[in-house]
Amino acid sequence: MPARRSLLRWGGAALAAPALSACGQTVGAARTTRQEPTRRGQKVTLTFWTWVPMQKTVDLWNRTHPDVQVRMQTIPQNVQGGYQKMYAALAAGNPPDLAQVEYHELPAFMLVNGLTDLSAYGADALRGRYAPWQWEQGVFGGRVHTIPQASGPMGLFYRRDLFGKFGIETPATWAEFEHAARVVKSRGNGARLCAFAPNQPTWFAAMCWQRGARWVRTQGDTWIVDMNDDRSREVAEYWERMVRDDLVIVEPDMSNAWYRQVQTGQIVAWVGPQWGDALLRGNAPGTTGKWRVAPLPQWKAGQNASANWGGSSTAVLQGSRHPREALRFAHWLNTDRRAIDRNVAAGYGWPAATGVFRGSALDRPDPFFGGQRYNDVFIASDRAIDTSWKWSPTTDADFAHLGDAFGAAMAGDATLTSSLADAQKRTVDDLLAKGLKARSAR
């Protein structure tokens, strides 16, 4: 089996990585995946690490598949917690059979030989059951290395009652969104249209994605980093103006303060992903019936561009002794209608499987959103995502650099636009430090 570093391939570019590191340490899989033979009637036990509370789904599997039992363990959703734990388990030779791995993290796992080649166990035959762009997130060197789980197509959550009170039409463009922000500031008695969260470079990446930016690409065996391009700078300048003119609240989203302002109407809208519905419903129950969802505002009237925030796969980590059974569970987890309904209730995200929306828990009017079939907005959003966006093997570090720079910008020590140039340089340095060929686009 070829080393994963020789398979890290996009657009025909194979990327060699003689020096590999992740999470600040040199790591790699201490053992390779091997299918152990099982006797007739022998029960197989798999371990599955995830941060989504999917125990009810796992319980359903265990009730209906007595031959293969799954033990779910909840892990943190962050680099310092969940992924660090996975990398350490790979290095120690005792990884779980399956783990939830975000799409942007997959290239980093490939660099440390952390994922099982599922094509060797028949995964290619499952391709037609999944959204093509999500399927491709886990394909390297033409081989399948993960099963798509869910994504986060973007939309605009907004308080319809407050829009009516302030005399605001649903903004179709970002210019109209800015105008709405100015209206809320003048009429809202301290309220603001939305927050700008300097702690969310992933959100900012989605904004640039929608604008048509491409932060990384490959040319031959070289990574080209282009975070400081004209389109990303346009996005940065827009939000810089929103901050400078006091049109937004500057604070971390999904924090206690943010939730409180959402509950009290101090925050009137949120540009967020489909999985944000569960956050609003769970943390602002007193606003039931007042929310609606609209498409993302566009940079030019009449455009239909969207983006994705978040998204995960179900990976079989390198070293599993039961890859066939693990693949069987991963596919069931992400395509069985009963499983998907339970996963959605747990905050799983937008399903990667095709043909499962109609008749699912997502396909119905929702009282929290005033009876709107709000997920119809996300159907259209998902179809409008530009699927050419790619992630680098150092995405976690890229986000950390951008977050640091955004924090400095909010403190007045830099600007959002200068943050892009700083993050681009540091990203190139990180790629070079991993032994990869890399350069800035400009």
Does one domain contain both 317 and 252?
no
Does one domain contain both 66 and 85?
yes
User: Which domain does 95 fall in, by range?
Assistant: 4-151+309-383
Question: What gap in Å lies between CA 253 and CA 194, rounded to an integer?
Answer: 10
Element (DSSP H or E) covering residue 248: strand 248-250
Residue 120 dihedral angles phi and psi, to the nearest 5°: -65, -15
pLDDT at 9: 41
In this predicted structure, the answer to whether residue 5 has a pLDDT above a threshold of 70 is no
Length of the chain: 442
pLDDT at 20: 28
Residue carrying the six token digits 């399956």: 98
Q: How many CA atoms lie within 13 A of 28 on its CB side?
A: 13
Burial of 112 (0-12, 13-18, 19+ CB in 10 A): buried
pLDDT at 80: 63
Split at pLDDT 50, 70, 90, the class of 79 is low
Q: Which of 358, 383, 408 is the last residue of a domain?
A: 383
Does one domain contain both 130 and 161?
no
State mean pLDDT over 125-149. 95
State mean pLDDT over 59-83. 91
What pLDDT digit, counting tens, does each position of 374-413 carry? 999 999 999 999 988 999 999 989 999 999 999 999 999 8
Residue carrying the six token digits 């499987």: 353
In this predicted structure, the answer to whether residue 12 has a pLDDT above a threshold of 90 is no
Do residues 5 and 16 make contact, with C-beta atoms less than 8 angstroms apart? yes
Residue 332 dihedral angles phi and psi, to the nearest 5°: -60, -45
3-state SS class at 113: coil
Share of the chain above pLDDT 70, in %: 93
In this predicted structure, the answer to whether residue 168 has a pLDDT above a threshold of 90 is yes
Q: How many domains does the chain have?
A: 2
pLDDT at 90: 96
Q: Name 309's Cβ contacts closer than 8 Å, sequence gap at least 6.
A: 152, 154, 202, 203, 205, 206, 272, 273
Does one domain contain both 225 and 277?
yes
Does one domain contain both 295 and 403?
yes
State mean pLDDT over 144-149. 97
Token pair for 411: 């403190």
pLDDT at 6: 37
Nearest to 57, CA basis, from 314, 230, 437? 314
DSSP string, 208-246: HHHHT---EEEETTEEEE-TTSHHHHHHHHHHHHHHHTT
Does one domain contain both 395 and 296?
yes
In this predicted structure, the answer to whether residue 88 has a pLDDT above a threshold of 70 is yes
Token pair for 397: 């570090």
Does one domain contain both 411 and 298?
yes
pLDDT at 439: 97
What pLDDT digit, counting tens, does each position of 183-222 carry? 999 999 999 999 999 989 999 999 999 999 999 999 999 9
DSSP string, 336-348: -HHHHHHHHHTT-
Residue carrying the six token digits 């930016």: 213
Q: Which of 383, 406, 422 is the last residue of a domain?
A: 383
Does one domain contain both 24 and 109?
yes
What pLDDT digit, counting tens, does each position of 17-70 carry? 322 233 333 457 889 999 998 888 789 999 999 999 999 999 999 999 999 999
Per-chain mean pLDDT for the chain: 91
CATH number for the domain spanning 233: value is: 3.40.190.10
Split at pLDDT 50, 70, 90, the class of 348 is confident
Question: What gap in Å lies between CA 375 and CA 365, rounded to an integer?
Answer: 9
Question: What gap in Å lies between CA 297 and CA 305, rounded to an integer?
Answer: 9
What pLDDT digit, counting tens, does each position of 261-302 carry? 999 999 999 999 999 998 999 999 999 999 999 999 999 999
Q: Which of 338, 368, 383 is the last residue of a domain?
A: 383
In this predicted structure, the answer to whether residue 142 has a pLDDT above a threshold of 70 is yes
Question: What gap in Å lies between CA 211 and CA 208, rounded to an integer?
Answer: 5
Burial of 195 (0-12, 13-18, 19+ CB in 10 A): buried
Does one domain contain both 15 and 145?
yes
Backbone conformation region of residue 3, classed left if phi is above 0, alpha if psi is from -120 to 50, else beta: beta
Does one domain contain both 194 and 230?
yes
Share of the chain above pLDDT 90, in %: 83
pLDDT at 349: 87
Does one domain contain both 287 and 366?
no
pLDDT at 77: 78
Does one domain contain both 298 and 315?
no
